[in-house]
Chain A
Amino acid sequence: MPLAIARYLLPALLPAAMALAAVSAPREALAGPTLDAVKARGQLVCAMNGSRPGFSVVDSKGEWTGLEVDVCRAIAAAVLGDASKVQYVKSTTQTRLTVLQTGEVDVTLSNVTWTYGRDADLGLDFVTPTFYDGQGFMVPKKLGVKSVKELDGAAVCVRPGSTSERIVADAQAQYGMKVTLVVIEDQKELNTAFFGGRCDVFVQTTSGLSAIRAAVAPNPEDFVILPEIFGKDPMGPVVRQGDPQWRDIVQWVVFALFEAEERGITSKTVDAVRKDSKQPEVRRLLGTAGSAAGKGLGLDPDWAYRVIKQVGNYAEIYDRGLGNGSKLKLARGVNQQWTNGGLFYAPPF
Chain B
Amino acid sequence: MATLSCRSFAKTSDGAPPRLPPPVARGPVGWLRRNLLASPFDAAVTLLLALAIAWFVPRAFAWALTDAVFWAPDGAACRGAAGACWAVIGEKYRLILFGTYPYEEQWRGAVVVAIFVAMIGFSAIGGISVRVKLAAWALASVATLVLLLGGVFGLSPVRTHLWGGLPLTIVIFVSTVAGGLPLAVLLALGRQSTMPAIRAISVGVIEVVRGLPLIAVLFVASLVFPLFVPPELQVDKLIRAIIGMIIFFGAYAAEIVRGGLQAIPAGQHEAAKALGLGYGLRMRLVVLPQALALVVPALLNDIIRAFKNTTFVAILGLFDVLGAAKVALEDPVWVRYAPEVYIFVFILYLLFCLAFSRQGMAVERRLAVRRR
- Identify the A interface with B (CB < 8 A): 1-3, 5-6, 9-10, 17, 20-21, 24-25, 27-28, 31, 37, 50-53, 57-64, 87-92, 95, 98-99, 102-104, 211, 214-216, 218, 327-328
Contacts and interface: CB of A to CB of B under 8 A. Distances in A.
Contacts of B164: 62
A131 B336 CA distance: 27
A3 B203 contact: yes
Main secondary structure of the interface of A (DSSP, over half): mixed
A38 B294 CA distance: 53
Nearest to B316: A95
Q: Indicate the member of A60, A88, A211 with the most B CB atoms within 10 Å.
A: A60
Contacts of B204: 2, 6, 9-10
Contacts of A92: 315
A103 B226 contact: yes
A24 B231 CA distance: 10
A104 to B, nearest CB: 6
Contact of B95 (A27, A60, A95): A60
A288 to B, nearest CB: 36
A215 B228 contact: no
Interface residues of B, number: 45
Contacts of B326: 51
A53 B332 contact: yes
18 contacts: A1-B200, A3-B200, A5-B196, A20-B228, A27-B230, A28-B230, A50-B327, A62-B100, A64-B100, A89-B317, A90-B317, A90-B323, A92-B315, A95-B315, A95-B317, A214-B332, A214-B333, A215-B333
Given A27-B230, A103-B226, A61 B196 contact: no
Contacts of A216: 335-336
A60 B328 contact: yes
Given A5-B197, A62-B164, A89-B317, 16 more contacts: A2-B203, A6-B207, A51-B327, A53-B331, A58-B327, A58-B330, A59-B95, A60-B92, A62-B94, A62-B99, A62-B103, A88-B100, A98-B223, A102-B223, A216-B335, A218-B79
Contact of B161 (A89, A103, A218): A89
A58 to B, nearest CB: 5
A163 B160 CA distance: 40
A211 B336 CA distance: 12
Interface of B: 79, 91-92, 94-95, 98-103, 159, 161, 164, 196-197, 199-200, 203-204, 207, 222-223, 226-231, 237, 315, 317-319, 323-324, 326-328, 330-333, 335-336
6 smallest CB-CB distances across A and B, nearest first, come from A2-B200, A90-B317, A214-B332, A215-B332, A62-B100, A5-B200
A61 B230 contact: no
Contacts of B226: 102-104
Contacts of B335: 215-216
Contact of B237 (A1, A57, A98, A104): A104
B217 to A, nearest CB: 15
A37 B231 contact: yes
A346 B320 CA distance: 41
